[in-house]
Structure 1
Amino acid sequence: MAQFYVNQNQQTNGDHEVHEEGCKFMPFEKNLLELGGHKDCASAVEVAKNTYDQVNGCNTCCPECHTT
């Protein structure tokens, strides 16, 4: 299982991006909310939606969950 995190700072379009541990675009640690271990980014995005209304996967480390 991979570890996933969501950026607590929103992007300019309002998205809070989900990242897999080790992503080269991982935000600063102080800006991360840990989502725990997941089999895929889809389940991590669902957990992030419990905190944020607008969530998207990182285009680099979670391209299958990147929608905008």
Structure 2
Amino acid sequence: MKKYYVNKTAQSNGDHEVHNENCLFLPNIENRKYLGIFSSCEEAVREAKKEHSRSNGCYHCSNACHTK
């Protein structure tokens, strides 16, 4: 189980990246929203999509949920 966050600012392609608590690319505290504790990135991305329909897993920490 890990804590997950979504980037409040969209990437250049419109995606809001979902990161786990240990990610080297975790946005600063002002630019992220806490999603909760989940057993998988799939659950975290599903939660993020409730607010940001274009949510995507971070390539580095949530690669199983990253789509191009």
Report the TM-score when normalising by structure 2. 0.98
Give the structure 2 partner of residue 34 of structure 1. Answer: 34
Pairwise CA RMSD = 0.5
**AA aligned opposite 2:61:** C
Give the structure 2 partner of residue 22 of structure 1. Answer: 22
Give the structure 2 partner of residue 56 of structure 1. Answer: 56
Shift of 1:22: 1.4
**AA aligned opposite 1:6:** V
**AA aligned opposite 1:16:** H
Report the TM-score when normalising by structure 1. 0.98
In the alignment, the residues of structure 2 paired with residue 31 and residue 59 of structure 1 have an alpha-carbon distance, to the nearest angstrom, of 18
Q: Percent identity?
A: 46
Shift of 1:65: 0.2
What do the CA deviations read for 1:10-30 (whole angstroms, capped 9, x no partner)?
000000000000100011110
Unpaired runs of 5+ residues, structure 1, are none
Count of aligned residue pairs for this structure pair: 68
In the alignment, the residues of structure 2 paired with residue 61 and residue 53 of structure 1 have an alpha-carbon distance, to the nearest angstrom, of 20
Structure 1 runs (4+) deviating above 3 angstroms are none
SS in 2 for 1:67: coil
**AA aligned opposite 1:8:** K
